[in-house]
Structure 1
Amino acid sequence: MLGSLRGTRLAAALASVLMLFVTVAACGSSGSSGAGPEKQPTAADKAFPVTIAHKYGSTTVKAEPQRIVTVGLTDQDSVLALGKVPVGTTEWLGGYKGAIGPWATARLGGAKVPTVLKDTGTGPQTEKIAALRPDLILAVYGGLTKTQYETLSKFAPVVAQPKEYNDFGVPWQQQTEIIGKALGQEAKAKSLVDGVEKDFKAATEKNPEFAGATGVVATPYEGIFVFGSQDPRSRVLTDLGFTLPTDLDKVIGDEFGANISKERTDLLDTDAVVWIASDPAKDEAKLHKDALYGDLKVARQHREVYLKETSDYGNSVSFVTVLSLPYMLERLVPQLAAAVDGDPATKVPAPAS
C-alpha cells in the first residue's frame, strides 16, 4: 500500500511539472497559441511615475490621473488648458458654474461640469473631496497647512504649493509647469507658457513706455490694501516692464499683500495704480477726497485704472492663469497705455467688452 501511495504521489508531481511547462511555454510563445499581443505603453504611460517637490516634501504620481480635484484656487485653468477636466474645483471668485471662468469654459467641451467645493475658512472640505474619489489633488495656488496636506494625502497624492514662494504666491508660469508635470504633460505645459509669454512680449514691444514705469496694484479694502511683489497681480505689471515701489515688500513683509498705514500712502505715488474696486466710481470719489491720496500726483493726473472686482474682467485680473491672462491683457494693456502716456488729459478708457 505504501508503494502504491508513493507511485500516486510521483505521478501527481510529474503531472504538475508537465502542466507548469506547458503554461510557461504558452505564455512565452509568440506563435498562434491564442495569446494576444502585449499592450504597448502610451506616451502618457511613459511619463510616469513623476515626483514633484513642494512645501511639505515631495509627492509621486504613479500613473496618469483621471479624477483630479483642484484645491488650489486657480489650478483648474491649468488642468483645462492641458486637456483634462477636474471632477472637483474650489470656488474663489465669480460664482461661476463649476468654478470655471468665461475665459476657460470652451475647454470643457462636452464634459460634465466639475463639482464645486468651498473653502469656508477652515480649509478644504475633506469629506466632499474624499467622496469624489480623486486620484490626484492639486493645491499649487494655495495655502495648505501641513495638517491639511497630511489629511488630504490619505485619499490621493497631493501636490501642495511650492516652498520657493509665499502661500498664494506661485507665478503662473511655474503653476502651469508644475501641473503639467503632475499630468505627464511637461512639454505641452511649457508650450502653453511660451504662448502667453509671447502675448506679454507683444504688449511690451507695442508699449515701450511700460519699461521703467512704476506701478502698483491695490484695493480699497479696510483702508488701502496693496499687493506685494510675490502676488500674481503684481507680477502682471512687472512682466509688462513696470517696476514696483522700492519699499513695497519691506512694508508688506512676508505676505502676498497687506493693508498699509496712512503714513505709507506714498507707496501709491507711481506712474500707474491699478485699483480693484467693489464700486469703481464711488471708490474713486472716496479716494480722491482723502487728503493724503488725493494730493498724490498719480491721483491729480488721473493715472489710475479702476476695475470692478466682481466683473469677469476684474476676476481675470485676480486669477492670473495661463487661460485668463490673454483675456485680461486684451483689456488691461490699453488702459495702462493711456495711464502712462504722459498726458494728464488722457482719459483711461473703459475696458473692452
Structure 2
Amino acid sequence: MKPRWLSLVAGLSALFLLAACGGGSATAPSTSSQQPDADAAFPVTVVTKFGDVTVDAPPTRVVAMGWGDAETALALGVQPVGAADWLDFGGEGVGPWAAGRYTAPPEIIGTLEPSYEQVAALRPDLILDTKSSGDEQRYDLLSRIAPTIALPPGAENYKTTLTDQVTMVAAALGVPERGAELIADVEGRFAAAAAAHPEFAGRTVTVAARSGTGWGAYASSTERVEFMTRLGFVPNPRIESLPEVRFSHPVSEEQLSVLDADLLVVFPIQRTAAEVNATPLFAAIPAVRAGRVIVFDDPDVQKAYSTNSVLSIQFALDAVVPLIAERLSSE
C-alpha cells in the first residue's frame, strides 16, 4: 500500500518531516500478525460515514485513534504502532483485560485534539477512527496521512456500536471471518448471562453518572444502557419520557427520585463512590434504600464497562453480572 502521509507532512514542521522521512519510527518493525496468505483478501473496501475507503494491501503499521479501536485491533491479532488512550490507562493505553497483547508498546496519541504530525511521523498504512467525534475536518486530515476507517454511515459521534466497530476493523485488516467470530462470542456471552439469570428479564434499570458537574441519566440509545438491556432489563420509563438527548439527561439533585428503578447503576466520574453514597437525596431513593444499587468503586470494572470493546466487555460481564444478581437478591 502506498502511504499518503507525505502530502500532509510537506506542510508541517521540518522536525516531523525529518522524522517521517528517516526518523526512528520509520524503521520500527511491522506490528501486523497477519498470516502470509492474508494478501488474498485485498484490496478491501470499507463503507464509512465519509464514503468508501479502499485498503490495497495487508496493513503493517496501524494507528488506532478511536475509542476502543486499539483493543479491537489487538483482539484481531494486529498490534497498532500508535494508539489513543481515551480513558487514561497509561502504559500501553489499554486495560488489564488486554495485557500482554503487545510485544512492543504503541506510541500514545492524543484523543480529542491529536497531533497529526505525530500520527504522520509513525508512517501508518491504515488509521482506525471508528469511534470518535466524527468530525469531517479530523477525517480529512487523517485521510491525507493514510486510508482512514471513520464512523459507519449514519452513526452519531462516539456512538459506533461494538458490532459495527469490530466489523469495520476486521474488514480493513482483511480478517472479516475472525471479526464475525468475536461478535458471535460476545453475543453468546450476553445470551448465556441472561439465560442464567431469568430474574433480570423485564426489570427496570437506570444507568446514571455523578460527575464533577452534576448528575445525569444515560439515554437508552447509549451503550451503557444497552449493556443492561442485553441482559434482559428494560430502561426506566421515567427516564424514557424525558426529552430526547444524545447521551445523558441532566438530573438536578432535587430530582434524584427520577432515577429510581428495580436496579440503579451509577458511574462516579471525577467523584468517588463514597461521595455518591454520602449524598442524602441519593440515599433516600427507594432502590438505594433497598440495596438494589451498584455504585462502581473499582476503576477497572468501571473502565471495562465504559470502554465497551470486544475485549473489555468480557471482563465487564464477568465482574458486573454477579454484582447485579447479588443486589437483586437483597430484596
TM-score for both structures, normalised by structure 1 = 0.78
Give the C-alpha shift of residue 262 in structure 1: 5.2
Report sequence identity in percent: 32
Query: Is contact 2:63-2:82 (8 Å) kept?
Result: yes
Partner of 2:312: 324
CA distance 1:249–1:182, shift in 2 (3 Å): farther
The alignment partner of 1:220 has SS state of: strand
Partner of 1:299: 288
Among 57, 78, 98, the residue aligned to 2:92: 98
The alignment partner of 2:234 has SS state of: coil
Uncovered stretches (5+) of structure 1, i.e. residues with no partner: 1-40, 345-353
The alignment partner of 1:308 has SS state of: coil
CA distance 1:258–1:114, shift in 2 (3 Å): farther
CA distance in 2, matches of 1:86, 1:103: 17
The alignment partner of 2:264 has SS state of: strand
Uncovered stretches (5+) of structure 2, i.e. residues with no partner: 1-34
* Higher alpha-carbon Rg: 1
Among 216, 229, 246, the residue aligned to 1:255: 246
Give the C-alpha shift of residue 165 in structure 1: 2.8
Structure 2 residue 135 is matched with structure 1 residue 141 = no
If asked which structure has higher relative contact order (CA below 8 Å, sep 6+), I would say 2
Partner of 1:66: 60
CA distance in 2, matches of 1:258, 1:269: 14
Query: Is contact 2:66-2:84 (8 Å) kept?
Result: yes
Letter in 1 for 2:100: A
Among 285, 294, 318, the residue aligned to 2:278: 285
Alignment of 1:178-257 (within 5 A): 178-221=168-211, 222-246=213-237, 248=239, 251=242, 253-257=244-248
Partner of 1:172: 162
CA distance 1:58–1:249, shift in 2 (3 Å): farther
TM-score for both structures, normalised by structure 2 = 0.83
Query: Is contact 2:193-2:231 (8 Å) kept?
Result: yes
CA distance in 2, matches of 1:94, 1:102: 13
CA distance 1:264–1:64, shift in 2 (3 Å): farther
Give the C-alpha shift of residue 102 in structure 1: 0.6
CA distance in 2, matches of 1:279, 1:81: 31
After superposition, the C-alpha distances for 1:190-245 in whole angstroms (9 at most, x for unaligned) are: 11111122211221111101111111221111221222223222211111111112
Aligned length: 294
Give the C-alpha shift of residue 249 in structure 1: 5.5
Relative to structure 2, which stretch is displaced further, 180-189 or 212-221?
Answer: 212-221
Letter in 2 for 1:259: P
CA distance in 2, matches of 1:66, 1:251: 47
Partner of 1:84: 78
